[in-house]
Amino acid sequence: MPESEQLMSLFLFVNDCKEETRFLTSGLPVRVIQTEHLDTAKEEMKSQSLSGIFIDIAFVQPGDIADIKSRSLSRSHQHDVPVFVLAHAAEVSAAIQYVRQGAQGFLVKGLSDSGSVQKLMEYATSQP
Per-residue pLDDT reduced to its tens digit, 83-114: 999 999 999 999 999 999 999 999 999 899 89
pLDDT in tens, 28-58: 999 999 999 988 988 888 888 888 999 999 9
What was the pLDDT predicted at 128?
64
Q: Using an 8 Å Cβ cutoff, are 12 and 41 in contact? A: yes
What was the pLDDT predicted at 6?
42
Structural domains for the chain: 3-126 (3.40.50.2300)
What was the pLDDT predicted at 42?
86
pTM, two decimal places:
0.86
Nearest one of 56, 50, 57 to 33, comparing CA atoms: 50
Q: Using an 8 Å Cβ cutoff, are 73 and 45 in contact? A: yes
